């Protein structure tokens, strides 16, 4: 069995969408997925709003990490924000998630990032324990806020 992590290419847009859909099913958020492969291709590969790593086992995609760079005003450095990390259920426990995070850490180091951050659902105990095993620390004193598309429009028009 061979394993590799590679940077996604435009022709991977449908694969990325399929993995996002599997993630949404796992997170019980399937109805929240409103994108499609064509939109992902435009936003990721043409407009370059995010980057994607794909994990493959015997040349078959089994997981992905979607990330982008932000900026820390306090550190004065970029940060790597991991939006989503997913490994197919039958491939978990083989080290693929850890290998994706190691690759992200290498990218963050190369870009001189001051930190790597991500969010995890409160109920996702297996992922929380996995992240803690890597010495990642939960940011319990912070609350995430969100405006959806309609709320952005309302605020922008006020």
Q: Can you read off the two tokens belonging to residue 107?
A: 């990218």
Q: Is 96 a catalytic residue?
A: no
Using DSSP bridges, classify how beta strands 115-118 and 77-87 pair: parallel, antiparallel or unpaired. Answer: parallel
Q: Which of 26, 67, 81, 131 is catalytic?
A: 131
Q: b or e along 30-40 (b: 16 or more beta carbons within 10 Å of the residue's beta carbon)?
A: eeeeeeeeeeb
Angle at Cα 47 formed by Cα 46 and Cα 49, nearest 5°? 125
d(CA 103, CA 52): 11
Q: What single string gives the DSSP state of each residue in 36-76?
A: -HHHHIIIIIIS-S-EEEEEEETTEEEEEEEEEEEEETTTT
Q: Which of 33, 39, 2 is nearest to 19 (CA)?
A: 33
**Which structure tokens are listed for 9?**
């290419």
Catalytic annotation, residues:
131
């Amino acid at each position: 069995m061979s394993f590799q992590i590679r940077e996604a290419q435009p022709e991977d847009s449908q694969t990325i969408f399929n993995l996002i859909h599997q993630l949404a099913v796992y997170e019980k958020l399937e109805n929240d997925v409103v994108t499609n492969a064509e939109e992902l291709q435009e936003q990721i590969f043409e407009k370059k709003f995010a980057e994607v790593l794909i994990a493959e086992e015997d040349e078959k995609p089994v997981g992905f990490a979607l990330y982008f760079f932000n900026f820390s005003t306090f550190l004065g450095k970029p940060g790597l924000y991991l939006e989503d990390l997913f490994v197919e259920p039958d491939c978990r426990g083989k080290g693929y998630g850890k290998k994706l995070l190691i690759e992200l850490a290498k990218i963050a180091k190369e870009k001189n990032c001051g930190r790597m951050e991500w969010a995890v659902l409160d109920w996702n105990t297996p992922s929380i324990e996995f992240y803690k095993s890597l010495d990642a620390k939960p940011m319990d004193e912070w609350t995430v806020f969100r405006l959806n598309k309609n709320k952005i429009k309302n605020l922008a028009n006020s």
